[in-house]
Amino acid sequence: MICIIALVVFSIMGIFSLTYRNLAKEAFDCVFRRITFRPCNTGFNEKIKSQLVAKLLNKSVFAARIFNKYFEVFSWAFLILMVWSTFYTVRGGYNYYLYGSCNGLNQVGFCALDPGGNNNKVTEISNGQCGLVEKKEENVTLDNVDLSSFPTKNVNSKDTIVLIGCYECDYTRKAYLDIQKLVKEKKTNYIFAHYPAKEDTNYLSEVGYCVYKEYGERFWEFNDYLFTVDKTEIYQSSYVNTILNKYNFDVEKINNCINNPLTKEAVNNQLNQLIKTHLYGTPTVFINGKAFVGPKPYRVYKSILNKFIIF
């Protein structure tokens, strides 16, 4: 079976060298004969065998003797390894294109195409259920979760995107632009939920709630802006007031709303609903109910809406 391995290797090397191109032709003839249950009549196997044994002789006579004696066994072993590695290489590339990770959707194992694991990084959170629900993507769900009080764009689409993120989370900021692009391009329903992964951003949940309650659709432009400004300052009320003024919101009305006990109760209820999703980091994106944890490449989000992904 060494001829099969040689065919693959020499075919690739033959792109750059005529010598290897000729060897690739011999290897092809040999493979064709083997798959039609005929022996190679070109002497190709013996040629490759003798060259390999000669190289081993320079290193170890014993190794050369063993290799020569069990050449066919080694050939099959190398073939199996080649098929195995090719399968996992192809699968890794397929997974990376569809999910942003060689290992599958939301899997954090090493991926040569994303060595830093950037497509799966999140700002980790504590959802108050430590030990009760394992931090796995399959446990993240929208079942029995009420999102009706969160800012919503409903265009009567069959597709719905839910973004749960934190204003101060770098990974949410990375995903946010792609999600806005996807919502606009595909004209989907859209729900945004702020989860204060950073403790200092609790205040922004109340601000967002009040802006959406008082000004409706004008919330979205304000929300976009919060993901572009200096993240180290947005938790300061004085800075947020400046932003509210920028968009001609009544700052006094918003602050009165924020200080209203009913607002704090409503925002706390929203947080409880998000905890029920079992999310373990931001951003968490749901597209038609399927969870995507971490800032995936745009093509990953888009492909599920184009029905390319089969779960």
Q: What is the CATH number of the domain that holds 247?
A: 3.40.30.10
Same domain flag for 155 and 87:
no
Residue 80 resides in a domain: yes
Same domain flag for 200 and 89:
no
Distance CA 113, CA 290 (A): 24
In this prediction, residue 133 carries a pLDDT of 43
Same domain flag for 13 and 125:
no
Same domain flag for 184 and 246:
yes
Residue 223 resides in a domain: yes
Same domain flag for 182 and 230:
yes
In this prediction, residue 232 carries a pLDDT of 80
Residue 263 resides in a domain: yes
Q: Which of 99, 134, 169 corresponds to the end of one domain?
A: 99
Same domain flag for 142 and 264:
yes
0.75 surpassed by pTM: no
> What is the H or E stretch that residue 69 is in?
helix 61-69
Residue 115 resides in a domain: no
In this prediction, residue 309 carries a pLDDT of 43
Per-residue pLDDT of the chain (311 residues; tens, 9 = 90+): 455 554 455 455 545 555 555 555 555 566 555 555 556 555 656 666 676 667 777 778 777 788 677 766 766 666 566 666 667 678 778 777 777 887 777 777 777 778 878 888 888 886 443 333 445 667 899 999 999 999 999 889 999 999 999 998 999 999 999 999 999 999 999 999 999 987 777 889 999 999 999 999 999 999 999 999 988 888 788 899 999 999 999 999 999 999 999 999 999 999 999 999 999 999 999 999 999 999 999 999 998 886 644 44
Residue 111 resides in a domain: no
Same domain flag for 178 and 95:
no
In this prediction, residue 43 carries a pLDDT of 61
In this prediction, residue 108 carries a pLDDT of 75
Task: Provide CB contacts within 8 A for 16, sequence distance 6+.
Answer: none
Which residues are registered as beta bridge partners of 290?
Answer: 287
Q: Which domain holds residue 71?
A: 2-99
Alpha helices in 119-276 (DSSP H): 170-186, 202-215, 219-226, 237-246, 251-259, 261-275
Our measurement of the distance from residue 16's CA atom to the centroid of its chain's CA atoms, rounded to an integer in Å, reads 35
Which residues are registered as beta bridge partners of 162?
Answer: 191, 286
Same domain flag for 235 and 284:
yes
For residues 303 and 98, is the Cβ–Cβ distance under 8 A? yes
In this prediction, residue 305 carries a pLDDT of 81
Q: Which of 69, 99, 129 corresponds to the end of one domain?
A: 99
Cα 311–175–160 angle (5° rounding)?
Answer: 50
Same domain flag for 203 and 297:
yes
**The total number of structural domains that make up the chain:** 2
Same domain flag for 125 and 94:
no
**Beta strands across the sheet bearing 290-293:** 152-153, 189-194, 160-165, 284-287, 290-293
Q: Which of 66, 99, 132 corresponds to the end of one domain?
A: 99
In this prediction, residue 76 carries a pLDDT of 62
Residue 279 resides in a domain: yes
Distance CA 240, CA 170 (A): 19
Neighbours of 66 (CB within 10 A): 14
Residue 219 resides in a domain: yes
Residue 168 resides in a domain: yes
